Chains A and B, each alone.
Chain A
Amino acid sequence: MHDETRLLAGGMVMLAIATGALVVVPYMTVRDVPPIEGLKPYTNEQLRGRRQYIANGCVYCHSQQPRSRNFAPDFERGWGRASVAGDYAYDTPHLLGTMRTGPDLLNIGARQPSEQWHLGHLYQPRAYVPGSVMPGYPYLFELKDKADTGDVEVHLPPGFAPAGKRVIALREARDLVAYLKALDRTYPVIPAPKAVRTVRTPEDPS
């Protein structure tokens, strides 16, 4: 046999082993875990909001995966219990994230249910949290002299609204906030189903 055939065959076997472990086995075991009771599918509006979350790259600063209490104090920070595979049954693409420049958002809907707060925070985070490094998203809003009927006006804290203008949330912003408010995995994880149990590490029970 030629060297190159052996080389490439060997190389591909190595990759196949890795793919088996990291892609195929998870495919067979955790791809189709059933949603946990209490988890609702996203509405169309929330799905559009999820697109906005993706399009504007919120995932590069926010994770959606609280860790278990005996590993890290995510619960104590108010981010929620450790998530399990069934919490993500409706999540394509996944938005677990690997960065916490900002807080974990898997349960932001439970933590902060106010639409006005979210809209205002998206328009200018520093109006609510001084020192925040989250960017504002003014392009998701429109400035008008006066609000028309049906407009959702954002009431910013004094000093942050542009002088003489009204800040109106565009549909993109409203969708996004609908998605954020839907981020709520505070329902309990029922311990019984086997498929769910297998996804926690034994030393790392939720």
Chain B
Amino acid sequence: MNTVVILLSAFVISVFGLFVFIWTQRRGLLDPSPRAAEVIFAPGEIGVVEDPAGTRETVAKLQAANPSIIGSGHAEELAERARADASTAPLVFFFLCCAFAWLLVASAAGLVASIKLHEPDWLIGQAWLTFGRIRTIHLNAVAYGWAPMAGLGVALFVIPRLLKTPLVGARYAFLGAALWNAALIAGLGAIAVGLGDGLEWLEIPWQVDILFVAGGALVGVPLVLTLLQRKVDHLYVSVWYMGCALFWFPVLFLVANIPGLHRGVQEAAMNWWFAHNVLGLFYTPLALASVYYFLPKIIGRPVQSYNLSLLGFWGLAFFYGQVGGHHLVGGPVPGWMITLSIVQSMMMIIPVVAFTVNMHGTLEGRLSALRYSPTLRFIGFGGLMYTVSSIQGAVEALRTLNVVVHFTHHTVGHAHLGMYGFVTMVFFGAIYFVVPRVSGREWPSPLLIGAHFWLAAIGITIYFISLSYGGWLQGVAMLDASRPFMESVTLMLPYLKARSIGGALMVLGHLVFVLHFVLLLTTKPSGRNQPTLLQAI
């Protein structure tokens, strides 16, 4: 009885609160005029496709697939955009180089951890290579290396474009990024020698965390300065997501890492509040902001419904923060907290559907663009996986299903669908777009982009399907007390091996990606490729 009351009131209060809030925000943000959605285009530019990752021919085909009237773009605004790009170029380039390095470190560690789960006697002589440490190195290199370096790099590129203002104070961000990377190296070293904190997602010792805080704050400085000098009236959707993410993360990180503050089961609640919010309020908004910017930009058509964007944004901001308790279903934590988290997990379906409908509407009739734009292919795939992984996550939170999958590899499959299928794929796409703009060179080989895409897409599909299915069987076996525990261990073996194969394809894709980047840097621009930066002016 009691639970039902709690459940209902949580539901009612949250929805009521949210709508009151959106209502108070409607002016300015909920601007019914389509102008707000059009700020990503210069006057007259709607209808012009943009994909710096494409070749001349594919861009021409992309444009031909776009039936709307072609504008040409206001020369002055385009020049302004080029200036915004130029102001961020060295900084973004630095972030992306770091992202590439961490991508390789992280995925190599992930593959080693994966193989160890079915070859337990492999590489056990050295302490730092033991499963518990290499797995943690993988997670931290992904969580504090690849994802933030790529996400912040893209944000630093996009925000000045959206504010139509050159980036102010880039040198702070340089210093910040240097500190951040130094912190990560120190943190991974600490984990490798066994000095981790012991909290999942928060393993890096608090002494090192101080460096992260300083580094992160310095990266934030130019964004705030630029925001203060902005030249546009409308803050585009992407700015909401990126701006809030940059303020949410420091709060999460700080509260979670203060030594001595948390204890016992309260610490567990805090732990999953943090871990889920890093996903939901940091990587997810950075990736969604990228989708909201690049997808319309590439096909040259504004986002279909600005109001849906608003619902998607505030829905995410409100519901996502409270879902962390679903990692502790059945655990020794207050029951109301878990119930609240389950309810809000289901409510997440609202913003997810809002996003999905919106993107579907924007792409409608332009699906052929996926064929011609390499960037869009990655971003389209990623956007779709946002929908799939969010719905899966919401359903997984329900007690009846959670009791099966909670302690199994099924959740690891889900984690990769979100972090890889969605976030990582979107960042891949964004990087394909950004690199030509910041380096002034073009990707030398469409073939390599294709290879990367298919290796990543097939790899994650194998990864996800094998772990989801195997993990389900594992959970069912564990719930049947008449089957010995070891049955749940041995039945996973073929699925764990399949995961290693999927993972190996993903790693191969990353190697292709990085190799391609190196080729881009080392080969001289060929005749057909004028530096894109100049082309834009």
Contact = CB atoms under 8 A, between A and B. Distances in A.
B505 interface: no
Contacts of A8: 243-244, 247
Contacts of A23: 255, 269-270, 273
A139 B192 CA distance: 14
B518 interface: no
Nearest to A95: B198
Contact of B28 (A6, A57, A72, A91): A6
B247 A31 contact: no
B317 A77 contact: no
A201 B235 contact: no
Contacts of A148: none
Interface in B1-34: 1-3, 17, 21, 25, 28-29
B360 interface: no
Nearest to A8: B247
Q: Taking each of A22, A100, A133, which has the highest tally of chain B beta carbons within 10 Å of its own beta carbon?
A: A22
B358 interface: no
Interface in A10-46: 10-15, 17-19, 21-23, 25-27, 29-33
Contact of B322 (A22, A77, A204): A22
Provide the main secondary structure of the chain B interface. Answer: helix
B81 interface: no
A149 interface: no
Interface in B301-322: 314, 317-318, 320-322
Q: Taking each of A13, A55, A94, A137, which has the highest tally of chain B beta carbons within 10 Å of its own beta carbon?
A: A94
B330 interface: yes
A116 to B, nearest CB: 21
A21 B334 CA distance: 11
Contacts of A11: 243-244, 247-248, 317
Given A7-B29, A133-B117, A93 B199 contact: yes
Contacts of A63: 407
B125 interface: yes
B341 to A, nearest CB: 8
Provide the main secondary structure of the chain A interface. Answer: loop
Q: Taking each of A30, A59, A200, which has the highest tally of chain B beta carbons within 10 Å of its own beta carbon?
A: A30
Given A22-B337, A26-B270, A56-B130, A31 B118 contact: no
A133 B25 contact: no
B244 A55 contact: no
A135 B124 contact: yes
B158 to A, nearest CB: 16
Given A31-B262, A54-B198, A6 B29 contact: yes
Contacts of B88: none
B383 interface: no
22 contacts: A6-B25, A11-B248, A12-B251, A14-B317, A15-B277, A22-B321, A30-B333, A52-B194, A65-B332, A67-B330, A72-B479, A83-B331, A83-B332, A89-B264, A94-B199, A94-B264, A100-B478, A101-B117, A126-B120, A133-B493, A136-B120, A199-B334
Interface of A: 3-4, 6-8, 10-15, 17-19, 21-23, 25-27, 29-33, 52, 54-61, 63, 65, 67-68, 71-73, 76-77, 82-85, 87-89, 91-96, 98-103, 125-126, 129, 131-139, 198-204
The 8 closest A-B pairs by CB, nearest first: A57-B132, A201-B335, A18-B321, A55-B194, A100-B407, A54-B198, A76-B481, A11-B244
